[in-house]
Amino acid sequence: MGRESARKRLRARLATGPVIVAPGIYDAYGARLVEQAGFEAVYMTGNGVSASLLGRPDVGLVDLTLITSHAHRVAAAVDIPLVCDADTGYGNAVNVRRTVEEFESAGVAAIHIEDQASPKRCGQLPGARPVIELAEAVGKIEAAVAARRDPDFVIIARTDSAEAHGLDEAIRRGRAFRAAGADVIFVEMKSGPGILDELKRVTAEVDAPCLVNMGAGGKLDELDAGGIGRLGLRIAIYPGLERAAAGHAIREALAALRKDGNTRAMRGRMLGLKEYNEALKLDDIEEWEKKYLK
């Protein structure tokens, strides 16, 4: 299936059906595993890309060229829609224009652009995030909408204003971003005792499909897809799923090797060669070889 088809499917699903669950990944291998597990969308986290490509935290070190070249390889590996973190759009409204063009050319189905001031930091790191003035933020969303060539390419507007300026301001910004043409609104917030009620307010007061970051933890972690949908949300991303699961498993395997001198104790918790090759679709390559190698 082509990239255009993936975008059309994502756009159609925004309007109907259960909540879209998009597990977070940071590479093409992880995206393949998500697709093979039966999920209908996958999310590429900027935090995970920064960790995997640079070994550094998500503090604005990944630039447009690095992430879009990586996104191109990830999008090419799967048929399901790829949603990508596009940070602040990598500059002002002029830069946002190129950002949209590059992600669209990479085969990505959707991106989210946030209103943080540069240099940005991951929304789940400690502390509040400074945000740019609303007028500038709106201009960037308007630029993103105007820059896309495929009308099915989904623009997600994210605001990080809730922590420092309160939920009322975040809702005000969400409404303004929707009026500017954003397809989806994403209010980033940290976990707290009232987070479920706050999310209900967002979906009730912002007339747009809304996305939730399931990396906030707390009461959010207790919800299944049905519970997320009952809050009125349309997309749930799990940015930390792969990087946290992989990091834990790798540490355990390394500890076993260091302690025992072999990986015998871990073999039941590691993919065998057959499973690994199935994940990479080796059978497809072998079929191609049989058909065309003379």
Domain boundaries, the chain: 3-246
CATH topology of domain 3-246: TIM Barrel (3.20.20)
Q: Is 211 exposed, middle or buried (0-12, 13-18, 19+ CB in 10 A)?
A: buried
Q: What is the dihedral of CA 210, 215, 217, 223, to 10 degrees?
A: 50
Provide block-wise average pLDDT over 10 residues at a time, the chain (294 residues).
82 96 97 97 95 89 95 97 96 97 98 90 69 97 98 97 94 98 95 90 97 86 94 96 93 95 92 93 94 92
- Measured in residues, the chain has a length of 294
Q: Cβ distance 242 to 219 under 8 Å?
A: no
Contacts of 31 (CB under 8 A, 6+ apart): 25, 42, 44, 74, 77, 78, 82
Backbone angles phi and psi of 123, in degrees to 5: -65, -20
- The encoded tokens of residue 235 equal 């997309």
Proportion of the chain in helix, strand, coil states, percent, rounded to 5? 55, 15, 35
| pLDDT given at position 192 | 82
Query: Which one, of 24, 60, 27, 64, lies nearest residue 41 by Cα?
Result: 24
